[in-house]
Amino acid sequence: MPQAIPAIVAIASLASAGIGTYAAVAQGEAAEDASNAQQKAANQQASATQASASLEAAQVRRENLLRMGTQRASTAKSGVLIDGSANDTIYDSAIQGELEALSVLYSGASEAGYHRSRGKIARMEGKAAKRAGYVSGAGTLIGGVGTAYSKMPEKKAPSFKKT
Rounded to the nearest angstrom, the gap between the alpha carbon of residue 46 and the centroid of all alpha carbons in its chain is 12
Residues contacting 127, CB < 8 A, separation 6+: 32, 35
Residues contacting 34, CB < 8 A, separation 6+: 126
* DSSP codes joined into one string, 18-77: HHHHHHHHHHHHHHHHHHHHHHHHHHHHHHHHHHHHHHHHHHHHHHHHHHHHHHHHHHHH
Q: What is the mean pLDDT of residues 131-139?
A: 89
pLDDT at 158 > cutoff 90 = no
pLDDT one-digit tens code per residue, 79-132: 766 666 777 778 888 899 999 999 999 999 999 999 999 999 999 999 999 999
Most confident among 64-68, 109-113, 143-147 (mean pLDDT): 109-113
- From the number of C-beta atoms within 10 Å of its C-beta (0-12, 13-18, 19+), residue 92 rates as exposed
Mean pLDDT for all residues in the chain: 86
Q: Given this model, what pLDDT does residue 149 score?
A: 78
Q: Are 152 and 73 in contact (CB under 8 A)?
A: no
In whole angstroms, give the CA distance from residue 64 to residue 24. 59
Residues contacting 97, CB < 8 A, separation 6+: 60, 61, 63, 64, 65, 67, 68
